[in-house]
Structure 1
Amino acid sequence: MDRGCQTARELPERLGPHPGSPGLAQKPLLSSLPAAQTLACMLRPCYGPHGRQKLLVTAKGETIFTRYATTILRALELEHPAARLLRDAAQGQAEHCGDGTTGLVLLAGALLEQAERLLQAGLPRAQLREAYAAVAAETPALLPALVCRSLGPLEDPFWVLHSVMNTHSLAQPQHLAKLVAHACWATQELDGRFQPERVALCILPGGRPEDSCLLPGLAVRGQPRGQVTVVTAGARVALFACTFGPAQTQAQATARLSSSEELLAFRRGTEQLIERQVGELVSAGVNVAVVWGEIHEKTLLQADKRGIMVVDAKSRKEAAYLSQVLGTPLLPHMLPPGTPGQCQRVYAQGLGDDVVVVFEWESPGTPALTLVLRGASRDGLRGAAQAAFQGIDVYAQLCQDTRLLPGAGATEMALARMLADKGAGLAGPEGPAFLAFAQALRTLPETLAENAGLVTPQVMAEMSGAHQTGNFLAGVGAEGLINVAQQQVWDTLVTKDQGLRTAAAVVIQLVTVDDIVVAKRTPALQQIPSPEPRRAKRGSSGKKRAGKSE
């Protein structure tokens, strides 16, 4: 009789709860399991709308309050290759969908724990990989059967985006969700296409979160300097990351002037240089100069005479983004650009005691609206920006696929019930693999209940009973079970599908890893300059050492 078939038939009897088994105290059969469990334990308290924040201290000493999985994973210095693989998968999920990173890590960790149990029960790795691959191929195909809503082409997306952005700790979640929904809806093309680049963000410290607003075009932190404060039409922009005026060398120098004529000649030379520099800008058609650096007073006066609006930019990052949008370089010297950036209008906009400069134009691929975020704390503004970017990415996904799934863990519980029902009737290794996937999916609503402070066994029992009766809209809320359709808690089909596929792909890749070999030189070996001293040491005798000591 084939040993593999015999093991598969005996597997269901050899599984089952055995928390006190001595085998669990031994070294894990999966070498990647401890690393995945460590990442999952780190992110589990951050999962869901009631998740807690982490006080993260980066390698540079910066302190960050966050519960955003991508921020936490990016700041970690991971040595374990399996942990780095899982982090790369989570970051890919964030870049593609903008959501679902924490759920992906938790699901991958739970799937690896179930795979460890199957290996301990005697299932060969090859069969485990094949069984997991079969379940992973079938699980996403069950998602369309759970779709219960779709976003209409003329429907306000606020109710969807608020559900997604509510997973962040925000001071005014409804106000921010309304602004993001309005910006996305207003910048959508007539044919239904949406470009996330059409919505820009400007983080302006100070004020209150409810002071956040939308401005047309691209708004950057800064203020006009001089008398020209607006260009009403035909703006041609030059960007400088240097002193706006004569170049100042780093070397110390002292001008030695012996007469008043030499002093006048020196001043005239400086003024002529300034006139020539500003004249070259005018000859190139530049009428707006954005400067990230010191602005020379005499150069500013000359710019006022020639009708050039000078903008004092507050951020090099925003100046670089403006360079990318306008298609003109950020120059390190005060020279005219080869091709100045073009837009329709440039003007200053006051926001309380602060000022931003707005660049307006209408062309594809350029920002049509800017979401200006206000807040008193840096961490609050960082969280609001992450939530806004997540809402914009989710809306971009909705423009491709408008189907929505029940949120609050309802989709995971419904999938777990369907997989468990099918796995109970299958023989061989696929049956336990289906049950393992079902058990791993149940850990996500269980984590939501734990983070909400609920009695987890009771909530899971009630939720399982509701799904057994066919109520797949039962999810986990702040006080117990909720109807996700009534509470408007939704997940996008694209995000959920991508998260399931990615988590399964990473786990299938890791279950066949027998051992992890890190081939790198240790610090002790790096201190030895060459192998010659080691050979001399091995050949040295006690007599020679004694002679040396004499």
Structure 2
Amino acid sequence: MASFPGTLAFDEFGRPFIIIRDQQNQQRLTGVEALKSHMAAGKTIANVLRTSLGPKGLDKMMVSADGDVTVTNDGATILKQMDVDHEIAKLMVQLSQSQDDEIGDGTTGVVVLAGALLEQAEQLLDKGIHPIRIADGFELAAHHAVKHLDSIADSFPFDVNNLEPLIQTAMTTLGSKIVNKCHRQMAEIAVNAVLAVADMEKKDVNFELIKVIGKVGGRLEDTMLVKGVVVDKDFSHPQMPKVLKDVKLAILTCPFEPPKPKTKHKLDVTSVEDYKALRAYEAEKFTEMVQQVKGTGATLAICQWGFDDEANHLLLQKELPAVRWVGGPEIELIAIATGGRIVPRFEELTPDKLGHAGLVREISFGTTKDRMLVIEECKNSRAVTIFIRGGNKMIIEEAKRSIHDALCVVRNLVVDNRIVYGGGAAEISCALSVSAEADKFSSLEQYAFRAFAEALESVPLALAENSGLSPIHTVTEVKARQAVEGNSALGIDCMLNGTADMRQQHVIETLRSKKQQIVLATQLVKMILKIDDIRCPNDQGSHGL
């Protein structure tokens, strides 16, 4: 049973009231003061991320308590690693994470939009408008903006023979990332990886079939897509062949070692004869195990567990190449790719449980002679591996995050192939539409509609500011052109290509991502506007980050 937070007392008229326990140690904010505190925290988080928005956005360097350094401009990663105490700041972190989980892209934009909505809500509060009216107005405005997005969205027919629209969309996602120097190559890798594992009938993509691994050394341009599996292991013996063709794989989760007695009894070896008999028994068992694997026609053994030097030497003698200590996830991927079955006992291994691969080769890197195994031309080519190279660990980790965003965007296009144009074009178009809709309201919601339109402009303003342009001047010019020309593809020319038409620049975003940003940001702000009382210990967050 939960403890009661205080003592129940009665006044002289018999009316009950509660004396709150530890009242002097509690900090309590109520009413407008509480709302202002929430808004200050939300705006602080949004301002941290604001400078990371767009193709010329800046990166953040974060140092963990262990001294690990992360350099990134991925909104979800920045917020995940920020140490925040304020309750509303934590909600902003969860907002970015939910955008990342559902869509995978737009994690910075959604927080910037939420921060702008909170800023507008604060101004409306100062005018004396009730927070519930503001929240309801924002919700109506968001509903209208989402409907407007449907009307300006373009769809491109999904054609496996014409991948250009998919590549252009992936390039937009990668434009603000560290990998943008090999922009197109990374976009093509992401598109080809998703199409290799996509189920076009169900319009679904199983991300578990796409493995992303990195190896320090080399250049980002050396990144490649392997239609198969890359395993961070080498052949168990240096004299085993480095290239195998038309391979039949035995995928084993049982170790190459003699069976141990399943009792508490121990075996005492008291003489040389006993030791020789034990050696002979072990050698016989090893030979039997290798023969069982060879007898099925296997030409490569993939083993989840290790085996000692004696078994390794015997495998070399019997000309059966082997790989040891292959982890569980890799074992599963190899089984899916090669069409093999994972075998837990040597006795259960049969020819029909073997996997098939056209080529298995060992590759080595630089002067360190690090080696990895590449399994290609598999029976089931739906499992793929993106193998990233880079100058240091930080670049590889950021490249992995960038590739993940691009994979998510291509996946979204497989699910729903409608797009809107980036560079703030969609936000400006929605802002114009919401602002025009405001005039149709005769109630207080009219103010909320106009404030929502102002907040939508925060994204193109941030893009212009981060690109070194004059924010107000640039956005005003684009707004005027959109209003006059009716072209919803006009946005901020962040890359200074000489045209504001995002259709010509091929700056494309998925409709799902843009809708989700508006909906999630509005939901969070609506929830914050309904919190008017907060109480927490003085040493915790309601007074700052």
Q: How far apart in 2 are the matches of 1:432 and 1:278?
A: 79
Matched letter for residue 48 of structure 1: G
Partner of 1:396: 411
Counterparts in 2 of 1:413 and 1:269: CA distance versus 1, 3 Å: same
Counterparts in 2 of 1:172 and 1:239: CA distance versus 1, 3 Å: farther
Work out whether residues 235 and 288 of structure 1, in 8 Å CA contact, stay in contact via their aligned partners in 2.
yes
Q: How far apart in 2 are the matches of 1:247 and 1:510?
A: 63
Q: How far apart in 2 are the matches of 1:90 and 1:285?
A: 52
2:516 aligned with 1:498 = yes
Give 1:238's match in structure 2, choosing from 249, 252, 258.
252
Q: How far apart in 2 are the matches of 1:186 and 1:329?
A: 23
- TM superposition shift of 1:233: 4.8
Partner of 1:310: 322
SS at match of 1:29: helix
Partner of 2:489: 473
* CA deviation string 1:221-250 (max 9, x = no partner): 22222436647354231247xx865799xx
- TM superposition shift of 1:150: 2.3
Partner of 1:347: 360
* CA deviation string 1:409-466 (max 9, x = no partner): 1111111111112214422221011111111111101111111112222212222222
Work out whether residues 144 and 434 of structure 2, in 8 Å CA contact, stay in contact via their aligned partners in 1.
no
Counterparts in 2 of 1:58 and 1:319: CA distance versus 1, 3 Å: farther
Work out whether residues 231 and 372 of structure 2, in 8 Å CA contact, stay in contact via their aligned partners in 1.
no
Matched letter for residue 490 of structure 2: A
Counterparts in 2 of 1:262 and 1:187: CA distance versus 1, 3 Å: closer
Matched letter for residue 194 of structure 2: C
Work out whether residues 103 and 444 of structure 1, in 8 Å CA contact, stay in contact via their aligned partners in 2.
yes
Q: How far apart in 1 are the matches of 2:343 and 2:389?
A: 27
- TM superposition shift of 1:64: 1.2
Matched letter for residue 322 of structure 2: V
Q: How far apart in 1 are the matches of 2:61 and 2:73?
A: 9
Partner of 1:183: 193
Q: How far apart in 2 are the matches of 1:77 and 1:285?
A: 56
Counterparts in 2 of 1:69 and 1:321: CA distance versus 1, 3 Å: farther
Question: Unpaired segments of 5 or more residues in structure 1?
Answer: 1-25, 249-254, 523-550
SS at match of 1:517: strand
SS at match of 2:459: helix
SS at match of 1:111: helix
2:123 aligned with 1:107 = no
1:134-173 superposed matches below 5 A: 134-148=140-154, 150-153=156-159, 154-156=161-163, 157-170=166-179, 171-173=181-183
- TM superposition shift of 1:115: 1.3
Give 1:124's match in structure 2, choosing from 121, 130, 136.
130
Give 1:374's match in structure 2, choosing from 362, 371, 389.
389
Work out whether residues 196 and 393 of structure 1, in 8 Å CA contact, stay in contact via their aligned partners in 2.
no
Partner of 1:488: 506
Q: How far apart in 1 are the matches of 2:343 and 2:124?
A: 58
Partner of 2:216: 205
- TM superposition shift of 1:379: 1.7
* CA deviation string 1:184-228 (max 9, x = no partner): 345545648452435433323322222222222222222222436
2:283 aligned with 1:268 = no
- TM superposition shift of 1:165: 1.8
Q: How far apart in 1 are the matches of 2:438 and 2:101?
A: 34
Q: How far apart in 2 are the matches of 1:336 and 1:218?
A: 27
Q: How far apart in 2 are the matches of 1:372 and 1:215?
A: 7
Partner of 1:296: 308
Work out whether residues 47 and 115 of structure 2, in 8 Å CA contact, stay in contact via their aligned partners in 1.
no
Partner of 2:51: 45
SS at match of 1:232: strand
Counterparts in 2 of 1:235 and 1:321: CA distance versus 1, 3 Å: closer
Partner of 2:375: 358
Q: How far apart in 2 are the matches of 1:56 and 1:330?
A: 44
Q: How far apart in 1 are the matches of 2:57 and 2:375?
A: 37
Q: How far apart in 2 are the matches of 1:420 and 1:122?
A: 21
Q: How far apart in 2 are the matches of 1:28 and 1:258?
A: 80
Q: How far apart in 2 are the matches of 1:290 and 1:70?
A: 37
Counterparts in 2 of 1:284 and 1:87: CA distance versus 1, 3 Å: farther
Counterparts in 2 of 1:433 and 1:382: CA distance versus 1, 3 Å: same
Structure 1 length-normalised TM: 0.77
Question: Unpaired segments of 5 or more residues in structure 2?
Answer: 1-31, 261-266, 541-545
Partner of 2:69: 63
SS at match of 1:202: strand
- TM superposition shift of 1:58: 2.3
Partner of 2:11: none
2:511 aligned with 1:511 = no
SS at match of 1:491: strand
Counterparts in 2 of 1:204 and 1:474: CA distance versus 1, 3 Å: same
Q: How far apart in 2 are the matches of 1:75 and 1:265?
A: 59
Q: How far apart in 2 are the matches of 1:61 and 1:320?
A: 34
1:330-345 superposed matches below 5 A: 343-345=355-357
RCO higher in 1 or 2 (8 Å CA, sep ≥ 6)? Answer: 2
- TM superposition shift of 1:368: 3.7
Matched letter for residue 499 of structure 1: Q
Work out whether residues 489 and 502 of structure 2, in 8 Å CA contact, stay in contact via their aligned partners in 1.
yes
Structure 2 length-normalised TM: 0.78
Matched letter for residue 315 of structure 2: A
Q: How many residues end up aligned between the 2 structures?
A: 485
Q: How far apart in 2 are the matches of 1:491 and 1:194?
A: 19
Matched letter for residue 377 of structure 1: N
Q: How far apart in 1 are the matches of 2:342 and 2:169?
A: 39
Work out whether residues 404 and 491 of structure 1, in 8 Å CA contact, stay in contact via their aligned partners in 2.
yes
Q: How far apart in 2 are the matches of 1:122 and 1:287?
A: 79
- TM superposition shift of 1:37: 1.6
